[in-house]
Amino acid sequence: MQSTKSVILTVKNRNKNRKHVLKAVWKYRYLYILMLPCIINFILFRYKPIYGVIISFKDYKVKLGIMGSPWVGLDNFKAIFAGTSFSTVFWNTVILSFYKLLFGFPAPIILALLLNELKNIKYKKLVQTITYMPHFLSWVVVAGLFIQFFSPGNGPVAYIFKAMGIKPVYFFGDPKWFRFSMVLTGIWKSIGWDCIVYLAALSSIDPQLYEAAIIDGATRFQRIRYITIPSIMPIVIILLILNSGSLIEDNFEQIFNFLNDAVLSKGDVISTYVYRTGLVKMRYSYATAIDLFRNAVAFLLVFISNFIAKKVGEEGIW
Amino acid sequence: MVNLNIIHKNRSKKYNNLVIPATRSERIFDYFNYFITAVLALSMVLPVLHVLALSFSSADVVNMSGLHIIPKKFSLEGYRYILKSKYIWTGYFNTILRVVANTVLGLLTTMGMAYPLAKKKLPGRSMFTWFIIIPMFIAGGLVPSYLNIKELGLIDSRWALILPILAKPYNIIIMRNFFMNIPDSLEEAAEIDGANSIYILFKIILPLSMPIIATVGLWTIVDQWNRWFDCLIYIRDTNKYVLQVVLRRIIFETSVEMIDAQNNAKMAISQEVIKNATIIVAIVPILAIYPFIQKYFVKGIMVGSLKG
């Protein structure tokens, strides 16, 4: 009522309306007080850094501050593409992300389909709970666990290799194996957790569909092929679109904890490069420019895949 | 989407009523399925068990290769050693401090924002909602965030681990959605009695919102326990290091300073035993509680997948 009234008043009398708004604001003053801590926090810690991105168009000097530092136009971006170091980390990122998408994206879908076919509910719950476990561990811990387990000297994996007469591989210290190891540990950490969304989609399939199929004499594989998989397709497409931006993203916490000098040629990716140039070598503007470029490309990728998804007749995310 | 378990039970019951003898290929598939899922589950358990067993072993066993599940030559020397180290204790203290501070202050800030946004009549509501949502899609990134903390003079301050992630946009939105489902009539009665919004939030809304508070609170606890990167870049004082960073220095940099600061004892004990014991000390609290709290996390994913 209050708001419709004020709409009418807008037309009639502006001054009166202003009074009205003030009155409404005054009426809700306690709500604004409640919001205040969060608003101040967001301005200081979320919006100020967004404003800080303009240093990618400046030559940032700590003494001069963001405002005082001179504008340099696109010089930082030119410097990125002129050097060779960026193109190495760029391709490292894209190749690693491509493998991650190729193997990591279907993994939880397959697990969800497998779990869905398990008839022993208790066993299913047990497997689910165990596969959630890595989600609750930090990458520091995961890297620690894996480095022990895959240690070429006395780890159990090396032991099996030796027993079979194969020379043990140092999975995390050999550039040839580094990408493989990152894909594997990435799947290991997230497969159980990522599978939840698909399991929810699977359990919302109407059981009548299955009953009708059984009466029609469909085998179990046919039911999976013609009912289960098509039913989860929309959610698969949506997640694929959302993940397409990750082609140029990388998991900093994962790579950073596994990275060592031996594998730098294959393992160094954009985020670790930004960390090194930005915070270690303190080339602030240069590193910020890389970040900005990366975010722009990621956004573009999501936009393009959404467009393609819509073209082929699937539902997009917007 | 509403009640997953019921649908599940119904379905398996109906399957049983329509008995169709499993074909041979179906039975092979079932065996294959049990096998694959068991291998996957083992791959998650074994690395933890291996490190656990080694952490309780004496140094000479650690250098023997192979998989360890039960400690051979039981020994507590690793634990005795690291528990004497000052940094394990300060690490624990700093981690617990950040977990508690972030959870309490974070929940207050999140609720304070979510509750007004749930009021449809609030002037400027959509503007404030956008204000919250925009940072979900655009962020300053590593360097601007770091420079911001530096400019605010928070380097080496514990506040640097608390303030930048105090309230998360996603948490605010799901809490707002929860509040929107609470009937207005409850608050109206209190309003007529002259209670103000702050009183209503804490006395009427809060007791009704325990499920969402538990969910967001537990997310914050686990997230904060596992955070390390902010401490790595913002904190230089080793006394303010959180547990994860102490762990990182011990296992990756084999930092003698971290382990050996307090006990200048001979390094007779193997580095490996120390590493293993440190890993276990850092993960035991999480491993002990995660099976009981996972349902809150699962629920959160479901809430998030519904459009709000």
Q: What's the pLDDT at B7?
A: 46
Nearest neighbour of A214 by CB, restricted to B20, B116, B301: B20
Q: Report the pLDDT value the prediction gives residue A311, as an integer from 0 to 100.
A: 80
Residues 6+ apart with CB under 8 A from B83: none
State the average pLDDT for chain B.
Answer: 84
Distance CA A314, CA A237 (A): 7
What's the pLDDT band for B261 if we cut at 50, 70, 90? very low
Assigned token pair, A114: 């497998």
In what helix (H) or strand (E) does residue A310 lie, and over which residues does it extend?
helix A284-311
Using a CB-CB cut-off of 8 Å, the residues of chain B touching A284 are 143, 147
Q: Under an 8 A CB cutoff, do A159 and B44 touch?
A: no
Name the 3-class secondary structure at B74: strand
Write the pLDDT tens digit of every residue in B164-207: 999 999 999 999 999 998 888 888 888 888 888 889 999 889 99
Largest separation between any pair of C-alpha atoms in chain B: 75
B68 to chain A: closest CA residue: A156
Phi, psi of B266 (to 5 degrees): -65, 145
Structure confidence at residue B308 (pLDDT): 35
Q: Please give the pLDDT value at position A268.
A: 93
Nearest 5°: the CA angle B145, B148, B149 is 90
Of residues B68, B198, B275, nearest to A144 (C-beta): B275
Q: Read off the pLDDT band of B255 (50, 70, 90).
A: low
Q: Which of B10, B123, B272 sits opposite A24 (nearest CB)?
A: B123
Question: What are the pLDDT digits (tens) for B156-168?
Answer: 999 999 999 999 9
Give the integer Cα–Cα distance in Å for B226 and A44.
24
- Looking at residue A3, its pLDDT comes to 56
pLDDT value of position B245: 94
The phi, psi pair for A3, rounded to 5°, reads -75, -40
Preferred mutation among A17, A33, A34 to probe B, highest tally of B CBs within 10 A:
A34
**B78: pLDDT strictly greater than 90:** no
Q: What is the pLDDT of residues B277-289, one digit of tens each?
A: 999 999 999 999 9
Q: What is the pLDDT of residue B73?
A: 79
Residue B58 to residue B226: CA distance in whole angstroms:
29
Residue B140 main-chain phi, psi, to 5 deg: -65, -30
Assigned CATH for B80-305: 1.10.3720.10
**pLDDT < 70 positions in chain A:** 1-16, 313-318
**Higher model confidence: residue B253 or residue A102?**
A102
From chain A, pick out residues whose CB is under 8 angstroms from the CB of B229: 252-253, 256
Instruction: Assess whether pLDDT exceeds 70 at residue B84.
Output: yes
Mean predicted confidence (pLDDT) in B246-263: 68
Chain A stretch 2-21, residues whose beta carbon is closer than 8 A to a beta carbon of chain B = 2-3, 21
Nearest to A288 among B18, B38, B144 (CB): B144
Distance CA A6, CA A16 (A): 9
Q: Which of A263, A262, A290, A266 is closest to A276 using CA atoms?
A: A290
Q: Identify the structural domains of chain A with CATH numbers, from first to last.
A: 2-57 (no CATH), 75-311 (1.10.3720.10)
B251/A30 CB distance under 8 A? no
Nearest residue to B150 (alpha-carbon basis) of A269, A250, A37, A55: A55
Q: In chain A, which among 52-81 make CB contacts under 8 A with chain B?
A: 52-53, 55, 60, 65-66
pLDDT in tens, B100-121: 999 999 999 999 999 999 998 8
Residue B307: what pLDDT? 39
Q: Which amino acid is at A201?
A: A
In chain B, the residue whose alpha carbon lies closest to the alpha carbon of A140 is B248
Domain parsing of chain B, residue ranges? 4-75, 80-305
Confidence (pLDDT) at B303? 63
Q: Which residues contact A94 (CB under 8 A, 6 or more apart)?
A: A247, A248
Amino acid, single-letter form, for residue B129: T
If DSSP states are collapsed to H, E and C, what string results for A19-55? HHHHHHHHHCHHHHHHHHHHHHHHHHHHHHHHHHHHH
* CB nearest B63 (choices: A49, A154, A196): A154
- C-beta atoms of B166 and A41 within 8 A: yes
pLDDT digit string (tens) for B25-51? 888 999 999 999 999 999 999 999 999
- Judge contact between A107 and A189, C-beta under 8 A: no
Residue bearing tokens 């599978």: A195
DSSP string, A40-94: HHHIIIIIHHHHHGGGGGB---TTTHHHHSPB-TTHHHHHHHHSSHHHHHHHHHH
What pLDDT is recorded for position A137? 95
Nearest one of A287, A60, A44 to B142, comparing CA atoms: A287
What pLDDT is recorded for position A247? 84
CB contact at 8 A, B134 and A266: no
